Amino acid sequence: MTLRIAVFGENRHEKVDPKVQEIYPEGMHTVIADCLREHLAADGVEAEVRIALLDDIEDSLSEEALAETDVLTWWGHMAHGDVPDEVAARVARRVHEGMGLIPLHSAHYSKPFKLLMGTTCNLLWRNEAEEERVWTVSGSHPIARGVPHPILVPEQETYGEMFDIPAPDELVFVSSFTGGEVFRSGCVFRRGKGKVFYFSPGDQEYPVYFQRDIQRVLANAVTWARPEHHDQAPVKIANAPRDWFRGEEVTHVI
Amino acid sequence: MTLRIAVFGENRHEKVDPKVQEIYPEGMHTVIADCLREHLAADGVEAEVRIALLDDIEDSLSEEALAETDVLTWWGHMAHGDVPDEVAARVARRVHEGMGLIPLHSAHYSKPFKLLMGTTCNLLWRNEAEEERVWTVSGSHPIARGVPHPILVPEQETYGEMFDIPAPDELVFVSSFTGGEVFRSGCVFRRGKGKVFYFSPGDQEYPVYFQRDIQRVLANAVTWARPEHHDQAPVKIANAPRDWFRGEEVTHVI
Amino acid sequence: MTLRIAVFGENRHEKVDPKVQEIYPEGMHTVIADCLREHLAADGVEAEVRIALLDDIEDSLSEEALAETDVLTWWGHMAHGDVPDEVAARVARRVHEGMGLIPLHSAHYSKPFKLLMGTTCNLLWRNEAEEERVWTVSGSHPIARGVPHPILVPEQETYGEMFDIPAPDELVFVSSFTGGEVFRSGCVFRRGKGKVFYFSPGDQEYPVYFQRDIQRVLANAVTWARPEHHDQAPVKIANAPRDWFRGEEVTHVI
Amino acid sequence: MTLRIAVFGENRHEKVDPKVQEIYPEGMHTVIADCLREHLAADGVEAEVRIALLDDIEDSLSEEALAETDVLTWWGHMAHGDVPDEVAARVARRVHEGMGLIPLHSAHYSKPFKLLMGTTCNLLWRNEAEEERVWTVSGSHPIARGVPHPILVPEQETYGEMFDIPAPDELVFVSSFTGGEVFRSGCVFRRGKGKVFYFSPGDQEYPVYFQRDIQRVLANAVTWARPEHHDQAPVKIANAPRDWFRGEEVTHVI
C-alpha cells in the first residue's frame, strides 16, 4: 500500500531572510520532500510525497486532503500564529484517527503539537551555531536504524531542558550542545490511533536537512509513523449493551 | 506546610435527579470534602479543604483562588459544557505550574482533563449496576497504599476500553466489570510541574464515595499530588546566553 | 532479508497428558510453527521457521543456532527447571544483542524471561476453563493490528494480577476472566538491542493456538520483534578517549 | 515511623589509593551516611543510618539485617566480584519485597543492580576530570526537589550513552560532560514492591559527595524510596479459587 506523505512547510523564513534563502533557495520543504522520496525509494517503500504550504493550508490540509494523508511532517517557526485554529484541530483529530505526525525543530511550538501534548512545550534556546551531538538512547528503536552514534550536526541552534513535554512514550535521542545544554531531541508519543515523533535538529539558518544522517532519521520516522489500520481502537461504539462483543463464532484453524 | 485542597463539584445531578439526591442529599462534593478532611487528619497531614461549585466557578476557580490551591479534585458529568473555556485553560495552566489535579469518573470528559491529555478521552460505557473490581497493578505506588486487592464496588456504571488517553506515566489500577469489560481505572500523568491522577470509580447513581477503600485512594492521591516546589523546572528563562548557569560557587559541605 | 524464527517447545505435557495429546497430537510447537509460516506467507514476509525442543536444547539453542535466529518464541511450563542455566543466560545475551523473544503463557516463569525482567514474575492463577477476553489498550500498536476487540478465548486458564513484572514499556493487551480477575496479557519490553513481547493466552489444556485471532497476534509479534540491526547501540567501545566520535566528515546530500 | 537506612560501602579504593584517601579519609560511606543524617534531620524525617561494609557483608547484609532495612544505598567499584552471589540475590529479593535501593555511580555494574535490570548495564566512560552538568528533565519529581538546574559538578568521571538499561520508569536527570557525551544520570525503576533510583555522579577520585546539591538528591531519593507497606501486592496467594476476593462486607462510611 502506497505511503501517502505530506510535507508541511511554513515557507516564510525562506521568503524574508537572505541567509535562509541561500541555504534553501527552493524552500526547506523541497529538501525534506526530496530526501524522503530518495531514501524511501532506496528502502523499497512505495511512497507518494506531496508538499503542503501555509499559503494554501486550507486546501492542502483540508479534511479531504488529510483523509488521504498517512503521515504529515511539519516545519514551522515564525508564523505558527497564522495556522488557523480549525486546521490545527483538524490535524490533531486526524492523528487521533491514525495519521502519523512528525513535528520538526521549532514545531515544538506549533499548534497541532501543543494540542496533542497538553503542555506548554517551552524550552530554553540560544542561536550561536553550536555543535549538536545526537545520541541514541534506545538500542532497539526502528527510528534510530542506520545512523551513527552520535550524529554530529556541526552548527545548530541550541535547545535545552527543561523541555516541557509529557514524558515521551519512548525516548530515542538525547542531544548535547557545545555550551553544555542537553535536550530530548527524539521523542515518540502515541495519541489515539496515531503516532507522533518529535525531532529537534533543523533550524532554518543551518543546512541540517542536507545531512545524510538526519535524512535517514526522517525516512525512518515516516515509515514508522504509518497508520496501523486497527479496526478496533479507539472505540467506535460508546454506549455498549451487555455482551455486545459476543455473537460471532470463534474461528479455529490449522 | 498546609495542603490546600479544592473539591470541585458540578452539583447538577444532585439538583435534578431524585435517585442522586437520595444518595448524596448534600451533594457529592460534600462527601468527598468530608472524607478528605477525615482521612488526612488521621494521616497527620495538615490540610484545608474547600468546596468549589460550578455555580460560582468564576470565583471559586479564579486566578487568585487557584493560585492558593495545591490540589484540585474535579467531579463533573452532565454540565461539562457549562465550564467556561477560560476557566478550563486556567486550570490547565495551574497544573503546568504545579497544582495537582484529580479528575474523578465522568471527568474523563471534563475540559481541563481533555486539554491536558490531547486525546479524545473517549471510552465505552453501560449503566447497569455491575460489580467493579479495582485491581492494583503497581506494587510500590503510594496511591495504592492501604487498599485491598481488589477493591470491590458492588454497583457501578461500567467503563470499558479502549480508553483513548495517552499511555499513563504510571498505571496504578485496572478494573473489571461483571459484563467482562476492563478499564484502566487509576492513571498517573505528569504535565509540566503538576501531577494528575485520574480515578474512574464514582458514578452519581451509586454510593461509591461512601466506601472506605475508595476514600483511602482519594486521600492517598491528594497527598501524592501536592506540588513539589521545584524552582528549576520548567524553564523560566527562554533565550539563555552561553554559560548562563555558571557563576555561583559550588558549595561543598561536611 | 529472511526472518529466521525458532519456535521453542518444551514438549512435555504433550507426552504425559492425554488431554493435551488430544488437542495437540503433534505438539504445541508444531501448531505454533505452522501458523507462523502460514500467516507470514500471507503477509508477504519471507520467513524460515524451525522448531527447537527441550530434548535437543544444547543443539537447537547453541551459540551457533542462536546467532542465526532473529526471533525466538518460547513455550514451557512443567519443565522450566530442565532448561540449563547456561542456555537461559545465552538466550538473554542474544536478546541483548538484538534477538527478539516472545515468551508465551506459562513462560512467564521461564528462566530467560525472569533473567530479563529482574522480578519474581509471580502471578495468581486458577484452572477452571473460564472465558478470557483480550482487550486492546494501545490504539496504534502493530502487534494489535487486525484483531477484534476483544479477542474471545472461550476457555482458558485464569491468570490474575498482581503480575510481578516491571511496568511494560508498552502495554498492548489487558485481559479479564469470568471470575473477575484482570491480567496484563500483552506486554512489550525492550532489553539491550532486543525486543520482548510477553503474551499470556495459551494454556496446554485448551486449543488456544488454533484460534485465528491468537495466531494473528503471534505473527504480528514475530514481525515486530525482528532485530533492527543498529550498529551504534549498545556501546561497543568502553573507555572512550575525548573526541572519539569526531574525525569523519559530515556528509551533505541533495 | 523511623526510616531505617543502610549505607553500603565497598571501602576498597579508600584503602589502596592515596588520591581517594585524601578526599575521603574516613571512607566514602562515612560522608554519605553523615550527609543523609544531616539532611533528613533538617527535613524532619526521623531516620536511623547505619553503615554496611563489604568486609562484613555477610553480617551487615544478612537476611536479618536486610529485613530491618528500609532503604539501602550502594557504592562499589573495584570489588563488585567480591560480593557473594547469594548476598546479591538476597538484596534483589528484599527489593522485590519493598526495600528501596539507591545504586550510586559505578554501582551500575554491581550485582544487585544488574540482577534487577536484566541488561548488561554497559556504558561508555573516560576519566579526565570533566565538568558534569546534571539537568532535571522531570518537572514534578520529588527526587529533584530543591536542586539547581543544572547541578554543576566541577570535575567528574565521564559516563556516556548508550547506557544499556531498560527504559527508566521515570527519567529524572540527564547529564552532559565537557567532552560532549550525555548520560541518563538519574533513573527511577520499580521492581516488585521496591523502588530503585540509580544516580551516577560520585566517582571516588572527586569530592562529589561533599557537594550540597548532590547530598540534597541523595536525601530526596532515600525519602522517596521508602517502602509503601502495601499489603496486597505482589500476590501472596498463587492458586486462587473462584471468588476468593469476596466475603467481606464492603464498608461505607461518613
What gap in Å lies between CA C236 and CA D3, rounded to an integer? 41
What is the average per-residue pLDDT within C125-148? 94
Residue C237, pLDDT above cutoff 90: no
* Domains and their CATH numbers in chain A: 3-118+186-231 (3.40.50.880)
Output the tens digit of pLDDT for each of chain D's 254 residues. 899 999 999 999 999 999 999 999 999 999 999 999 999 999 999 999 999 999 999 999 999 999 999 999 999 999 999 999 999 999 999 999 999 999 999 999 999 999 999 999 999 999 999 999 999 999 889 999 999 999 999 999 999 999 999 999 999 999 999 999 999 999 999 999 999 999 999 999 999 999 999 999 999 999 999 998 766 555 566 788 888 888 766 777 76
Mean confidence (pLDDT) of chain A: 94
> Which of B161-165, B176-180, C95-99, C231-235 shows the lowest per-residue confidence on average (mean pLDDT)?
C231-235
* pLDDT score at A234: 53
Q: Which residue of D has its CA nearest to B148?
A: D232
Q: Which residue of A has its CA nearest to C35?
A: A254
Q: How confident is the model at residue C2 (pLDDT cuts 50, 70, 90)?
A: very high
* pLDDT score at C176: 98
HEC assignment per residue over chain A: CCEEEEEEECCCHHHHCHHHHHHCCCCHHHHHHHHHHHHHHHHCCCEEEEEEEHHHHHHHCCHHHHHCCCEEEEECCCCHHHCCHHHHHHHHHHHHHCCEEEEEHHHHHCHHHHHHHCCCCCCEEEEEEEEEEEEECCCCCHHHCCCCCCEEEEEEEEEECCCCCCCCCEEEEEEEECCCCEEEEEEEEEECCEEEEEECCCCCCCCHHHEHHHHHHHHHHHHHCCCCCCCCCCCCCCECCCCCCCCCCCCECC
What gap in Å lies between CA C116 and CA C168, rounded to an integer? 12
Among partner residues C131, C135, C170, which is closest to B182 by beta-carbon distance? C135
Share of chain A above pLDDT 70, in %: 96
What is the average per-residue pLDDT within C183-196? 97
Phi, psi of B160 (to 5 degrees): -140, 160
**What are the chain C neighbours of B162 within 8 Å (beta carbons)?**
135-137, 139, 149
* pLDDT score at C50: 98
- Closest CA–CA distance from residue B1 to any residue of chain D (Å): 12
Neighbouring subunits of D (3+ Cβ pairs under 8 A): A, B, C
Q: How confident is the model at residue A99 (pLDDT cuts 50, 70, 90)?
A: very high
What is the average per-residue pLDDT within A120-149? 94
Residue B165, pLDDT above cutoff 80: yes
Which ipTM did the prediction report?
Answer: 0.94
* pLDDT score at C238: 79
Write the pLDDT tens digit of every residue in C38-85.
Answer: 999 999 999 999 999 999 999 999 999 999 999 999 999 999 999 999
Write the pLDDT tens digit of every residue in B38-49.
Answer: 999 999 999 999
Pairing of strands A3-9, A47-53: parallel
CB contact under 8 A, D98 and B140: yes
* pLDDT score at D237: 63
Phi, psi of B55 (to 5 degrees): -60, -25
**What are the chain A neighbours of C7 within 8 Å (beta carbons)?**
none
What gap in Å lies between CA A148 and CA B163, rounded to an integer? 38
Residue A240, pLDDT above cutoff 90: no
Which residues of D make CB contacts under 8 Å with A? 131, 133, 135-139, 149-150, 160-164, 167, 170-171, 174-176, 178, 180-182, 184
Which residues of C make CB contacts under 8 Å with B? 131, 133, 135-139, 149-150, 160-164, 167, 170-171, 174-176, 178, 180-182, 184
What is the average per-residue pLDDT within C118-123? 96
CB contact under 8 A, B124 and A235: yes
Which residues of B make CB contacts under 8 Å with C? 131, 133, 135-139, 149-150, 160-164, 167, 170-171, 174-176, 178, 180-182, 184
* pTM confidence score: 0.96
